[in-house]
A = this chain, B = another copy of it.
Amino acid sequence: MISGSLAFALKEKGLAQKIIGVSRTEASIQKALQRGFIDATASLEEAVAQSDLIYVAIPVSAAKPMMKKILNLMRNDQILVDAGSTKASLCAALSHHPMRGRWVATHPMWGTEHSGPEAATHDAFRGRACVICEKEQSDAGALQSIEEMYRSLGMHLVYMDAKSHDVHAAYVSHISHITSFALANTVLKKEKETDAIFQLAGGGFESTVRLAKSSPDMWTPIFLENRENVLDVLDEHIQQLKQFRISIDARDESALMKLMENANRIKRIL
């Protein structure tokens, strides 16, 4: 979804002449060719040899060995970019690679609950933030090219060290997904009559539970790579839920009101 949406955008903006798709899944390649966002496929080695820009959007657990392999294959006139949702462990693992300067570590903050080439969309990314991590580790020219690429998609750039990125991502992305998965499990477990869910679910439920449709293959490694931060935020979230539990249990109207008034402050931000 991410690389396909990027491919659509780069072609439509005339920023890419030829896009070569590489995937371990043959069906994904066929779908990508059919949808027209890649022009060809090749082995990883051939694809890297022919490319000016190499873009990696794979589960974060697979990224570390794959990125190392790609950096080993690269020349000094090529650029590597990744779109991984966690950054600290990857940046640390590759920090001493002799080709580190050719890699720009990024996290475009766009996604949906869908995945795979069917989910690639036109005009994705627009209006969202793209985090660039450890920019001082990238060669100036490579960095500038990638900044221009993301800006041309309509993204605004945010610069962070990799550890700060992972802390922030736990707050604004990872916890939302856990909450949503857990909410789906709550309802699926307790609500035997799934017909009733379907009949009654209004917009509120659908928007809160939407992320529960997300890919376990993608999210398992994210939660484990960002384990400490995720556990920290999750503990706080459980404490916040318990505050609601205590207030409701005690019929404490004023405490309950205060909890919600505090939550309302999110209006000023979002």
Contacts and interface: CB of A to CB of B under 8 A. Distances in A.
A200 B169 contact: yes
Contacts of A242: 238
A203 B266 CA distance: 15
Nearest to A266: B184
B182 A212 contact: no
A131 B74 CA distance: 62
B223 A256 contact: yes
A207 B210 CA distance: 8
A90 B197 CA distance: 23
Contacts of A62: none
A167 to B, nearest CB: 9
Interface string A158-170: 1000000000110
A24 interface: no
Interface in A221-242: 223-224, 227, 230-238, 240-242
Contacts of A156: 199
A183 B187 contact: no
Interface in A152-189: 156, 158, 168-169, 171-173, 175-189
A38 to B, nearest CB: 25
Interface residues of A, number: 92
Given A211-B208, A241-B238, A201 B183 contact: no
A265 B172 contact: no
Contact of A240 (B182, B196, B219, B232): B182
13 contacts: A110-B202, A131-B200, A158-B200, A168-B193, A184-B262, A184-B264, A186-B237, A194-B269, A206-B270, A209-B270, A224-B256, A235-B245, A238-B238
Given A158-B199, A202-B172, A260-B181, A230 B211 contact: no
Interface stretch (A8-16, A133-141, A247-255): A247-255
Given A179-B241, A204-B211, A266-B213, A171 B190 contact: yes
B179 A183 contact: yes
A267 interface: yes
Contacts of A197: 171-172, 269-270
A181 B216 contact: no
Residue among A113, A181, A242 facing the most chain B CB atoms (10 A cut-off): A181
A129 interface: yes
A220 B248 CA distance: 9
A34 B74 CA distance: 66
A261 interface: yes
